[in-house]
Amino acid sequence: MKTILITGGAGFIGSHVVRKMVKNHPDMQILNLDQLTYAGNLENLFDIESSPNYSFIHGDITDIPFLEKLFGEHEIDGVIHLAAESHVDRSITDPMSFINTNIVGTVNLLNACRHKWKDVEGKLFYHISTDEVYGSLGSEGLFTEETAYDPRSPYSASKASSDHLVRAYHHTYGLPVVLSNCSNNYGPNQFPEKLIPLAIHNILHMKPIPVYGKGENVRDWLYVEDHASAIELIFSKGVPGRTYNIGGLNEWKNIDLIRLLCGIMDEKLDRVAGTSEKLITFVKDRAGHDLRYAIDSSRIEEELRWKPSLQFEEGLVRTVDWYLKNPEWMENVTSGAYQSYYSKQYGER
């Protein structure tokens, strides 16, 4: 039985990847390593926590002695590395936490693998990154795997640095690695600091929906379960040393997205059409706000036969339905109740 370490597995994307790997690969032992910071929540994984091929490990990838102990106790055959600080606004106010987790933490994991994997046959380090490393697009064009890096925020710069380090360990030490860079994810279990769950929460409570600038920034949106499927496929069949861009083929201006969401929410909540849209509040634009991101996913489509399964409108309805059916989850994460619970279990963070 192979043992696969998934870092950040209690987070938004990570929990969907963990669930998919546990359910689809009973022949693999899945270790979920998470520090359980504000965005890591084991409530995301209640449905698989008793599975015989699943274990949760509480720990910090910036803690070298902890990682040495972990890799000494387990014969880890593969790493799917999702643990990261990921919110651009937080990176602007606290860049050092992004440098420590996203850069130093990644190097610590790479070193742990390099020192442990004397024979790299059957081993793989899979690093998940973001399209934000490529910078900003104009009104035309797409990011490809050959697009030059041009990060514009502390967050994207920290992810760009970690990408370069992963590739450097492949070329310098022969470490088998794959990388992927994805567009904006959305779907169930996303912490409500991000645009879509924040807007859903605020609409529910008739609070202002903040939209940066004039809402003209464009993003490509990828349903989280489609992303998890792509990650599973890349981990199983990706070519070592290769990078794969994962996009949803769903470009939307922020303001158009929010108006669509408002219409869906009005219908679901039996409100008069236009009620939620009155909550839209334009706020001062984010510093260094990139205008447009758009992904060319042709490599993963051609080489691995992956395509997103959902168009944005369908995925957005599914997302709204999930949040409306799980008000306790939203209440727990917005109140911090789940953090208090896990602090008692694993110690103050």
Summarised one tens digit per residue, pLDDT across range 6-62 is 999 999 999 999 999 999 999 999 999 999 998 899 999 999 999 999 999 999 999
The first and second tokens of residue 144, run together, are: 């490809």
pLDDT band, very low/low/confident/very high, at 337 (cuts 50, 70, 90): low
Cα-Cα-Cα-Cα torsion 269, 272, 275, 276, nearest 10 degrees, comes to 30
Residue 182 has pLDDT above 90, yes or no: yes
Q: Is 78 helix (H, G, I), strand (E, B) or coil?
A: strand
Domains of the chain, earliest start first: 2-189+220-249+289-311 (3.40.50.720)
Q: What pLDDT, in 10s, does the model give residues 268-305?
A: 999 999 999 999 999 999 888 889 999 999 999 999 99
Edge to edge, the sheet with strand 54-58 lists 54-58, 28-34, 2-7, 78-81, 124-130, 177-182, 243-246
Confidence (pLDDT) at 150: 96
Is 132 known to be catalytic? yes
Confidence (pLDDT) at 287: 85
Confidence (pLDDT) at 349: 40
User: What residues contact 236, with CB distance under 8 A and at least 6 apart?
Assistant: none
The residue whose two tokens read 């199983």 is 236
Confidence (pLDDT) at 197: 96
Is 119 known to be catalytic? no
Residue 347 has pLDDT above 80, yes or no: no
Is 285 known to be catalytic? no
Q: What pLDDT, in 10s, does the model give residues 227-236?
A: 999 999 999 9
Q: Annotated catalytic residue: which of 43, 60, 131, 220?
A: 131
Residue 240 has pLDDT above 50, yes or no: yes
Confidence (pLDDT) at 335: 83
- Cβ–Cβ < 8 Å for 115, 40: no
Q: Annotated catalytic residue: which of 54, 134, 155, 169?
A: 155
Confidence (pLDDT) at 41: 93
Give the chain's mean pLDDT: 95
Mean pLDDT of 110-130: 97
- Cβ–Cβ < 8 Å for 108, 70: no
Q: At what angle do helices 105-116 and 154-173 cross, to 10 degrees?
A: 20
Q: Which helix (H) or strand (E) holds 227?
A: helix 224-237
Given the DSSP bridges, would you call strands 209-212 and 251-253 parallel, antiparallel or unpaired?
unpaired
Q: Annotated catalytic residue: which of 34, 85, 132, 163?
A: 132
pLDDT band, very low/low/confident/very high, at 339 (cuts 50, 70, 90): low
